[in-house]
Amino acid sequence: MKKNITVIPGDGIGPEIVTEAKKVLDTVCEKYGHEFAYTEILMGGCSIDACGVPLTEEALATAKASDAVLLGAVGGVVGKDKWYELPPNLRPEAGLLAIRKGLGLFANLRPAYLYDELKSACPLKESIAEEGFDMIVVRELTGGLYFGERKTEEIDGVMTAIDTLKYDENEITRIAKKAFEIAGKRRNNVISVDKANVLDSSRLWSKVTAEVAKDYPDVTLTNMLVDNCAMQLVKNPKQFDVILTENMFGDILSDEASMITGSIGMLPSASLAEGKFGLYEPSHGAAPDIAGKNIANPLATILSAAMLLRYSFDMDAEADAVEAAVRQVLKDGYRTVDIMSEGCKLVGCSEMGDLICERI
């Protein structure tokens, strides 16, 4: 299969980790007979240096014209990098918002998986960690409280702030469909999280998701209240396969879910648009403190590339092969410094990439 991938190395450790992910994608091409063409674009601090803005219209158009986007990370250090003397809308991170909006990315996917070999990093009780977990949070990304009307005004002499939580049935339907499709590629189980005992938007959410569920007879749908979900994530994370939820609940729950894995350098993410298009990036940032030292953990970016194969290209076997290679490398005892533990072999960023390629 021939595909075009836009690659955004970005700032800090971005170029190092993206190089390793490309190496892995090239190995997949060799093994499975695909052809991936890469086009690099600038975003973040490097784009400010070269073009004066964190994302140019041309760069966005290039990304739009491709089949998928792979991103490293953007950003530097406030108080050190001159980018932060600029107004907020011209700083590196503004590129992220611009590309998400420009590409119409409305579904955010954050998997949280506990590797056997990294169980000691899990902050939960040993008996819970021992059971393991493998879930994905599907968060609506462009609606709800963060995008509703808001104002702060004085009403009868009292300062009052108002935020509006609004969802329409079309917004709920499209994210619910994504969640059911993803569940179909996993363990066929969706838990839809809301606050339907209080909020109208949640009652519409659960009504619409139940409607959508009828088109996916193989997938089981259960509803869970958000406060219960926050508790269940630390009490019994093994029960979750796909968590489907709105923007703000998803913001909080996806951070909680990643926290219980204990290792930030391992967590991929995806943001999807209508159809198959998506942007794939690690959950961590640009880590300027370790940039250029060849010590960054490239696994979150490599796992993001695996998500790209699975969700944008429908290459499930190829994605499985990359994920299995990551598990095998950990099993074989190789670790970058952020996940290093006694008795393991310490490797750098590029060596870790090579080790994954050898195992695909």
Where does this chain bind ligand NAD (CB under 6 A)?
Answer: 13, 73-76, 93, 96, 264-265, 281, 284-290, 296-297, 300, 338
Question: Is 168 considered catalytic here?
Answer: no
Active site residue 3: no
Nearest to 215 by CA among 195, 248, 190, 242: 190
Is 251 an active-site residue?
yes
Q: For residue 49, indicate whether it is catalytic.
A: no
116, 163, 215, 255: the catalytic one is 255
Q: Rank residues 21 and 287 by Cβ distance to ligand NAD and give the closer one.
A: 287
Angle at 269 between CA 21 and CA 320, to 5 degrees: 60
Report the alpha-carbon distance of residue 32 to residue 49 in Å, rounded.
39
In the complex with ligand NAD, the residue whose CB is nearer, 89 or 236, is 89
In the complex, least distance from residue 228 CB atom to ligand NAD, rounded to whole angstroms:
29
The structure tokens listed for 243 are 């968590």
Look up tokens 């909680």; give the residue: 256
CB of 260 to ligand NAD, least distance (A): 17
Q: At its nearest, how many Å lie between ligand NAD and the CB of residue 46?
A: 12
- Dihedrals phi, psi of 11, to nearest 5 degrees: -115, 180
Question: Beta partners for 221?
Answer: 190
Residue 216 to residues 76, 126, 180, 243, 296, Cα–Cα distance (Å): 44, 36, 7, 16, 41
DSSP element (H, E) containing 314: none
Active site residue 115: no
Out of 26, 81, 134, 251, the active site residue is 251
Alpha-carbon distance 142 to 195, whole Å? 19
Q: Which residues pair with 46 in a beta bridge?
A: none
Give me the residues paired with residue 245 across strands. 139, 193
**Helices 14-32, 299-311: inter-axial angle, 10-degree rounding:** 50
Q: What's the closest the beta carbon of residue 285 comes to ligand NAD, in angstroms? A: 2
**Given the complex with ligand NAD, which of 63 and 315 has the nearer CB atom?**
63
227, 314, 316, 332: which is the annotated catalytic residue?
A: 227
Catalytic residue, chosen from 195, 238, 338, 354, is: 195
Which residue lies nearer to ligand NAD by CB, 184 or 288?
288
Task: List, in sequence order, the alpha helices (H) in the chain.
Answer: 14-32, 45-51, 57-65, 94-102, 126-131, 169-184, 200-213, 226-235, 247-259, 299-311, 316-331, 349-358
Q: Which is nearer to ligand NAD, 75 or 192 (CB)?
A: 75
- Report residue 222 as tokens: 């259960």
C-alpha 219/C-alpha 82 separation (Å) is 50
**Residue type, position 275, single letter:** G
Name residue 36's beta-bridge partners.
3
Pairwise CA distance, residues 272 & 278, whole Å: 4
Q: Based on CB atoms, which residue is closest to ligand NAD, 83 or 240?
A: 83
In angstroms, give the least distance from the CB of 92 to ligand NAD. Answer: 6
CB of 151 to ligand NAD, least distance (A): 28
Give the catalytic positions in this structure: 146, 195, 227, 251, 255
